[in-house]
Structure 1
Amino acid sequence: MHHAMRQPLPKPTPANLRRFAETPVARKAINTIKDQIAGMRWRIQRRDGNAPAATSDVRIHILAANLDAPNPDDSFRSLTEQVIEDVLVGGWGAVEVQLTSDPQRPLLLWPVDGATIRIYAGWSGDAEEPRYAQVTPWGRHVDLRNDELVYVRLNPRSHTPFGLGRLEVAFETISWLLGAQDYAARLASNTVVQYALWLAEMPPASYDKVISWWQNEIEGTGKVPIIANLPAKPEVLRFGEGSDRDLRLEWQRFLIRIIANAFDLPPLLLGLEQDVNRSTAGPLLEEAFRTAVVPTARLYAEHITREILGRRLGWNDLEFVFEDLEIFDERAQAEIDEILLRNDVLLPDEVRLRRSLPALPGGWGGLTYTQRQMLIGGQRSATGDQ
């Protein structure tokens, strides 16, 4: 174990980050965040919140259909999974944006390996000047303007133009965990010797006989060991306790907790279920949603709104939103909606639009609760007078 810890740590290169992302604990953390975002419901809406105008805006329907199939190979979910994967691994998600001549399909969106993107630090802000360059592993160099690439940085910092992925934060800890797991695997499979034979005053001529007996009878066939005709009894000296403590399981659990912290997740979601019961599991899951899923989803949605809808298409009055960001508890959200509707804060059509439902017929969904009650009360009075 000590020898494994003293080995030089691998560098967090893109190749090593990709490799570490395929290990079980890291993959569980990545999928916990990525799958929730990729599976969320989403919509295009007007920034001014005008629900009736949104239902009649042709651009919204065109964009929704376009994003459902951003290119001939991908759906919105598969595109999002690739981008969010890169954001979590290295802090560099990227999407190439192309305009088409088809008014019913104005965009083509292509996922790009964010690790191949280089940034021109001296970019002047000119829209026609390249801001990014893609450098492929085989040496190809492609310049891209600012409006041709959506570059999503996680954890932006002032001293570098690049982001910082959650896997980068956990890189050393994952390396230690892999070393601990490798040591435990070799120990459990009996490839690491945890004992020695003390031969006391036995003459050297008997060494080979005792070693051969040990290898054949104790380590090999597993038969009942019998030893005889030796001048002295050999003694076994154990280096470990012969229990699970030798596998350093507590150390591994500690490292998994650190990895969970790097991904803003509770250890519960990475398989550590100690001290968790029904009363604590719910708050922990909600905390994970608020701290890990919501910020990443909003970052992605803001880039789609600003870079694609605004900068590339020029439709600054529209925005992309995920519908499920505020609806972790459906019952609680329904109660909040009811309170807001009764206090004339929301219109019925606005609530229905958020749930992808059509507007109420007859214009009733465009009236506040007070207006509807006044109309209903007036109709009852008119009926009573008759």
Structure 2
Amino acid sequence: MSWMPRDNKRKSVLPKNPTVRQLRNFSRDPIVRKAITIVQDSLARQPYTIDVIGGRGKKIREIAAVQNCIEHPNLVDSRSSFTKRLLDDAMVLDAMCAEVAKARSTKHPVYLYPVDGSTIQMVVPYDYTDDNAVRYMQQQEDGMKYFTAKDIAYMQRSYFTYQPYGLSPIMMAYQYVRFYLDSIEQANEKATNATAEFLISLGEGINSEQREKFIEYMKNDIEGTGRIPVVAGSKSVETKQIKAINSDGLYLQWLEKLTQIVGVAFGIPPEKLGLVIANDRSTGEDQENAMTQELIKPYAAMMEDLYNNYVIANMGLGGVLKFRYIFEDSEMQKSVKSKRVVDEYYKGVLTENEVRRIMGYEESTSDYANMTYPEKTANINVDLGIAGGFNGNGNIKDTTNTEGGDSNEKDKD
């Protein structure tokens, strides 16, 4: 790839290997921050439900306690502020951390406190066979404090076998975005520099008086008027460009190129970041769906694991209740889903009530609703006494000598 030309003596805006502080500062860049904010705002207000698994009753009190823990995770945060705090570290450091504290109250049995993910260190090696083994440590004012895997919820999006820490989207894009910030700095420097774009040479034989007269002429009669300067004399007037006069010279095209890279790292359409014009044929709905699938849902899964593994499980309700976010399907997804479900119904894979549940409708009370389509057809044929099918084709069943039947009636074609 051909990179933007640069002066080797010029100091880079961002260092090659960033520290945690520099990474956090970088996350405040407007382009990156917008990508982070999209996820934060979405999940902070995303509707959710707490399902009862396996028909174990309504569990009204238990669900109310779980909701209380989620809506008020600690004495300071609401669900919205708690979610935003955790997601910031999740996307900046790939380290979404919360301290878990049990309480005696049945109405609020678990408290969750956000923790700076950069302060948590892994204990290596770790005894995976002992539930009470020390897993994490944190340097505090009174010394090093140790935590078990039950005390600290440490959630990541990416995992490796060769190191315990993950890789955030900001880290993935960092080296590319470093060039992007350099281009902004350089473009700003060039755009705001007061140096003239051209150097004018009046040629040889011009004395100081003639030079001053030409300066006055340019200043009083040409600058700001839009007129083309015309001069006379035996000496030619030469010009030399000494500064960029178009966007190519300012390297502003790198804004679009590197904004696209940020979008790829986060899994978000680059035009959502505000600096890139869409150049594909995707509809707005397609883009929203892609952003939901590639950016929002992976972090939603991390929050779901947090509540299921550290709130519901700590209440002794693991396998009984399950927290999940509710994502509405797009119209295209609904159409595809509907067609697939209906096809499976007619092929005898699903019953009518299974179809209704999948599509979000209330279950039917029909006697045939829990049968597959072939079973339903066969039972209706029997119940209605139709030999050749319930569409009215075929022979009508002989009802001779049956209650209500006509003894003189014969089988009709």
Cα offset, 1:63, TM superposition: 0.5
2:353·2:364 contact (CA, 8 Å) conserved in 1? Answer: no
TM-score (norm. length: structure 1): 0.76
Gaps of 5+ in 2: 385-403, 405-413
> Please, which runs of 5 or more residues in structure 1 have no aligned partner?
none
Q: Is 1:43 aligned with 2:45?
A: no
Q: Point out which structure has higher relative CO (alpha carbons under 8 A, 6+ apart).
A: 1
The alpha-carbon deviation at position 265 of structure 1 amounts to 1.5
Distance 1:224 1:40, change over 3 A: closer
User: Mean alpha-carbon deviation: is it higher for 17-26 or for 290-299?
Assistant: 290-299
CA RMSD after TM alignment:
4.2
Q: Which residue of 2 aligns with 1:76?
A: 79
Partner of 1:304: 307
Cα–Cα, structure 1 residues 196 and 268, in superposed 2: closer, same or farther, change >3 Å?
Answer: same
Contact 1:348–1:365 (CA<8 Å) still a contact in 2?
Answer: no
User: Structure 1 residues 224 and 283 mapped into 2: Cα distance closer, same or farther (>3 Å)?
Assistant: closer
Q: Secondary structure at the match of 2:186?
A: helix
**Is the counterpart of residue 34 in structure 1 residue 40 in structure 2?**
yes
Task: Name which of 61, 65, 88 aligns with 2:64.
Answer: 61
Q: 1:191 to 1:159 in 2, by over 3 A?
A: farther
Of residues 256-265 and 31-40 in structure 1, the stretch that sits farther from structure 2 once superposed is 31-40
Query: Structure 1's 63 and 246: CA in aligned 2 closer, same or farther, altered over 3 A?
Result: same
Letter matched to residue 79 of structure 2:
F
Equivalent position SS for 2:154: strand
The residue number in structure 1 matching 2:133 is: 129
The one of 166, 184, 188 equivalent to 2:187 is 184
The verdict on how the C-alpha distance between 1:224 and 1:64 changes in structure 2, with shifts beyond 3 A counting, is closer
Task: Judging by fraction of residues, say which structure has more helix.
Answer: 1
TM-score (norm 2): 0.71
Provide the C-alpha distance between the structure 2 equivalents of 1:100 and 1:248, rounded to a whole number of angstroms: 58
State the shift of 1:31 in Å: 1.7
> Who is 2:158 aligned against?
155
What is the deviation of 1:313?
3.1
Separation in structure 1 between the aligned mates of residue 287 and residue 172 of structure 2, nearest angstrom: 22
* Structure 1 runs of 4+ with >3 Å offset: 4-9, 138-141, 191-203, 221-226, 231-236, 330-352, 363-371
Distance apart, 1:309 and its partner CA: 2.4
Percent identity of equivalent pairs: 21
- Secondary structure of the 2:289 match is helix
Matches within 5 A, 1:360-371: 369-370=369-370
Q: How does 1:1-386 map to 2 (within 5 A)?
A: 2-3=6-7, 7-8=11-12, 9-10=14-15, 11-48=17-54, 50=55, 53-125=56-128, 126-135=130-139, 141-191=144-194, 194-198=197-201, 200-201=203-204, 235-240=238-243, 242-271=245-274, 272-276=276-280, 280-310=283-313, 312-317=314-319, 318-324=321-327, 327-329=328-330, 332-333=333-334, 336=337, 339=341, 343-344=350-351, 369-370=369-370
**1:3-50 deviations in Å (ceiling 9; x for gaps):** 2796354132111111111111101111222322222111222333x2
- What residue identity is the alignment partner of 2:6? H
Give the whole-Å Cα distance in 1 for the aligned partners of 2:205 and 2:22. 51
Aligned to 2:329, what secondary structure does the other structure show?
A: coil
3-state SS in 1 of match to 2:121: strand
Q: Distance in 1 between matches of 2:185 and 2:330?
A: 41
SS in 1 for 2:283: helix
